[in-house]
Amino acid sequence: MAVCACSRKSEEDRFIDDLLSRMTLEEKIGQMNQLDPSWNAEEKEALIREGKVGSIFNIVGAKEVNRLQRMAVEETRLGIPLVAARDVIHGFKTIYPIPLGQGATFNPELIEQAAQATAKEAYQYGIRWAFSPMVDVAHDPRWGRVAEGYGEDPYLTSVMGAATVRGYQNDQMVNDQMVPGMAACVKHFAGYSASEGGRDYNTTWIPETQLRDIYLPPFKAAVEAGAMSLMCSFNDLNGLPSSANHHLNVDIFRDEWHSDALLVSDWGSGSDLVPHGLCADKKDAALRCINARMEMDMQGNIYNDYLTELVNEKKVNEQMINACVRSILRLKYRLGLFDNPYVPEDTPAPGDAELALRVAEESAVLLKNNGILPLNDQIVLITGPLAHQKKEQLGTWVFDGDTSLSITPLMAFEQMVNGICPNGKLIYEPGLTFSRDKNPVGIAKAVAAAKKADVILYFCGEEAILSGEARCRANLDLPGAQIEMMDALVATGKPVVMIVMAGRPLTIGRQVDQAAAVLYAFHGGTMAGPALYNILTGKVVPSGKTPITFPKMVGQIPLYYNRHNTGRPSYDPPMLIDSIPIGCPQFSIGQSSYWLETPTEPLFPFGFGLSYTTFEYGETKVCQSERRSVSENGLSAERSVSPKDGLYTVSCTIKNTGSYDAYETPQLYVRQLSGDLVRPLCELKGFQKIFIPAGETRDVTFTLTDDDLGYWHESHDGLSSRVWFATDDADFRFAILPYSQPLVPKDK
* Contact status: 471 vs ligand NOJ (CB under 6 A): no
Sequence letter at residue 674: S
* Contact status: 142 vs ligand NOJ (CB under 6 A): no
**Which of helix, strand or coil describes residue 345?**
coil
- Residue 83 near residue 55, CB atoms below 8 Å: yes
x/- site string to ligand NOJ, residues 177 to 206, per CB under 6 A? Answer: ----------x-------------------
CA atoms within 13 A on the CB side of 49: 8
Q: Within 72-91, which residues bind ligand NOJ (CB under 6 A)?
A: 87
* Contact status: 213 vs ligand NOJ (CB under 6 A): no
- How many angstroms separate the Cα of 143 from the Cα of each of 136, 137, 180, 330, 675? 11, 11, 35, 35, 34
Nearest residue to the partner ligand NOJ, using Cβ: 131
- Residue 226 near residue 162, CB atoms below 8 Å: no
Nearer CB in complex with ligand NOJ: 87/352: 87
- Residue 202 near residue 145, CB atoms below 8 Å: no
* Contact status: 267 vs ligand NOJ (CB under 6 A): yes
Nearer CB in complex with ligand NOJ: 37/79: 37
Q: Which of 266, 272, 295, 683 is close enough to bind ligand NOJ by CB under 6 A? A: 266
- Whether 266 is catalytic is yes
Task: Return d(Cα 236, Cα 231) in angstroms, integer.
Answer: 14
| DSSP, residue by residue, 444-505 | HHHHHHHTT-SEEEEEEE--GGGSSTT---S--S--TTHHHHHHHHHHTTS-EEEEEE-SS-
Least gap, CB of 470 to ligand NOJ (angstroms): 9
Least gap, CB of 275 to ligand NOJ (angstroms): 15
Least gap, CB of 469 to ligand NOJ (angstroms): 6
Q: With left for phi above 0 and alpha for psi between -120 and 50, is residue 537 left, alpha or beta?
A: alpha
State the DSSP H helix or E strand holding residue 6, giving kind and residue range, or none if neither.
helix 5-22
Least gap, CB of 433 to ligand NOJ (angstroms): 30
Q: Kindly tell me the burial class for residue 744, based on how many C-beta atoms sit within 10 Å of its own C-beta (0-12, 13-18, 19 or more).
A: middle
- How many angstroms separate the Cα of 400 from the Cα of each of 61, 147, 180, 258? 11, 18, 20, 35
Least gap, CB of 35 to ligand NOJ (angstroms): 12
* Contact status: 168 vs ligand NOJ (CB under 6 A): no
* Contact status: 171 vs ligand NOJ (CB under 6 A): no
Least gap, CB of 424 to ligand NOJ (angstroms): 48
Q: Closest Cα partner for 401 from 410, 409, 412, 393?
A: 393
Nearer CB in complex with ligand NOJ: 269/556: 269
Query: Which residue among 87, 153, 236, 266 is the active-site one?
Result: 266
x/- site string to ligand NOJ, residues 638 to 677, per CB under 6 A? Answer: ----------------------------------------
**Which of helix, strand or coil describes residue 383?**
strand
Least gap, CB of 708 to ligand NOJ (angstroms): 30
Least gap, CB of 647 to ligand NOJ (angstroms): 39
Task: Return d(Cα 296, Cα 330) in angstroms, integer.
Answer: 13
Q: Closest Cα partner for 202 from 131, 142, 281, 244?
A: 142
Nearer CB in complex with ligand NOJ: 266/402: 266
Q: Closest Cα partner for 499 from 571, 413, 607?
A: 413
Task: Return d(Cα 466, Cα 470) in angstroms, integer.
Answer: 9
Q: Which of 469, 484, 714, 731 is close enough to bind ligand NOJ by CB under 6 A? A: 469
- How many angstroms separate the Cα of 353 from the Cα of each of 358, 403, 537, 613, 664? 9, 13, 20, 27, 24
- Residue 542 near residue 536, CB atoms below 8 Å: no
* Contact status: 208 vs ligand NOJ (CB under 6 A): no
Nearer CB in complex with ligand NOJ: 138/365: 138
x/- site string to ligand NOJ, residues 428 to 467, per CB under 6 A? Answer: ----------------------------------------
Q: Within 102-141, which residues bind ligand NOJ (CB under 6 A)?
A: 131
Nearer CB in complex with ligand NOJ: 267/561: 267
Task: Return d(Cα 232, Cα 243) in angstroms, integer.
Answer: 6
Nearer CB in complex with ligand NOJ: 187/358: 187
**Which of helix, strand or coil describes residue 617?**
strand
Residue 636: count other Cβ atoms within 10 Å of its Cβ. Answer: 18
Nearer CB in complex with ligand NOJ: 245/613: 245
Least gap, CB of 659 to ligand NOJ (angstroms): 45
- Residue 143 near residue 198, CB atoms below 8 Å: yes
Least gap, CB of 131 to ligand NOJ (angstroms): 4
* Contact status: 92 vs ligand NOJ (CB under 6 A): no
Task: Return d(Cα 213, Cα 712) in angstroms, integer.
Answer: 6
Number of residues near ligand NOJ (by CB under 6 A): 6
Q: Closest Cα partner for 99 from 160, 153, 58, 142?
A: 160
The C-alpha angle 196, 398, 178, rounded to 5 degrees, equals 120
* Contact status: 220 vs ligand NOJ (CB under 6 A): no
Nearer CB in complex with ligand NOJ: 92/131: 131
Nearer CB in complex with ligand NOJ: 87/112: 87
Residues that bind ligand NOJ (CB under 6 A): 87, 131, 187, 266-267, 469
Residues with catalytic function: 266
